[in-house]
Chains A and B, each alone.
With several copies, the nearest count.
Chain A
């Protein structure tokens, strides 16, 4: 289990520098921090995006995120994990999700970062609705390749500790 685990769902923006500092403050056993930031793009399926609204299932989100973080901590010797997912209305350029994973070595930090974002995309109850510049809107469809990316982890044996 990660020694420092922070999970948050929020409407406010996240500050990567603040989160990095919190994750590593006073720690000198961390040698590697992997991170992933997902942001809103200004086009989708060839159409210009004006905004995106993220909905979630609060009671389940909390459980799902805690479960995903715990799974990562079982696979890799993590010293800290931060997962922040935003909800509500976002515009192009806004951050959607932040994953940080700290470990003594890079393979664990980057492996856990990839694992966490793959699972966030397929195992956490968030839904995106896109609002286009042309006035139309659409719910984002789940992508088969996301399911494949998450499922692929089941075939990867946990690394030697």
Chain B
């Protein structure tokens, strides 16, 4: 299935009004940076993803802008963690 499973946490979840969504992998999107730009381009609440502190995990591991994304991946966006 050519879908990404996208998750949002903490205040990102609140701003977007959703905790998760399924997303067809957009053509040409192969990295975290490209996916993030794609989502930001949706406008409105998605502009929150442009916040530079927002972190990304791919398949439950911290990811950088160049990390590859592929169909079936679980991509999570979230603010810096504040546990402990």
Contact A59 B82 (CB under 8 A): no
B84 cross-chain contacts in A, Cβ below 8 A: 38, 85, 96-97, 106, 117, 120-122, 124, 126, 146
Does B80 interact with chain A (Cβ within 8 Å)?
yes
Instruction: Please tell me the number of chain A residues within 8 Å of chain B, measured between CB atoms.
Output: 30
Contact B78 A57 (CB under 8 A): yes
Chain B, residue nearest A139 (CB): B11
B81 cross-chain contacts in A, Cβ below 8 A: 121-127, 142
Chain B, residue nearest A120 (CB): B84
B78 cross-chain contacts in A, Cβ below 8 A: 57, 125, 127
- Residue of B53, B80, B83 near A56 (CB, 8 A) is B83
Least CB distance from A44 to B in Å reads 11
Least CB distance from B79 to A in Å reads 7
Chain B, interface size category, equals 10 to 19
- Residue of B10, B53, B60, B61 near A127 (CB, 8 A) is B10
- Residue of B10, B53, B74, B80 near A59 (CB, 8 A) is B74
Does A140 interact with chain B (Cβ within 8 Å)?
yes
A-B contacts, CB under 8 A, total: 75
Within 8 A of B (CB), among A34-83: 38, 54-57, 59-60, 63-64
B7 cross-chain contacts in A, Cβ below 8 A: 57
Contact B80 A142 (CB under 8 A): yes
Contact A127 B79 (CB under 8 A): yes
Contact A127 B83 (CB under 8 A): yes
Contact A85 B83 (CB under 8 A): yes
29 contacts between A and B (CB under 8 A): A38-B84, A55-B9, A55-B10, A56-B83, A57-B57, A60-B60, A63-B60, A85-B83, A97-B83, A97-B84, A117-B84, A121-B82, A121-B84, A122-B84, A124-B81, A124-B83, A124-B84, A125-B9, A126-B81, A126-B84, A128-B82, A128-B83, A139-B10, A139-B11, A141-B80, A141-B82, A142-B79, A142-B80, A147-B80
B residues bordering A, Cβ < 8 Å?
7, 9-11, 53, 57, 60-61, 74, 76, 78-84
A residues bordering B, Cβ < 8 Å?
38, 54-57, 59-60, 63-64, 85, 96-97, 106, 117, 120-129, 139-142, 146-147
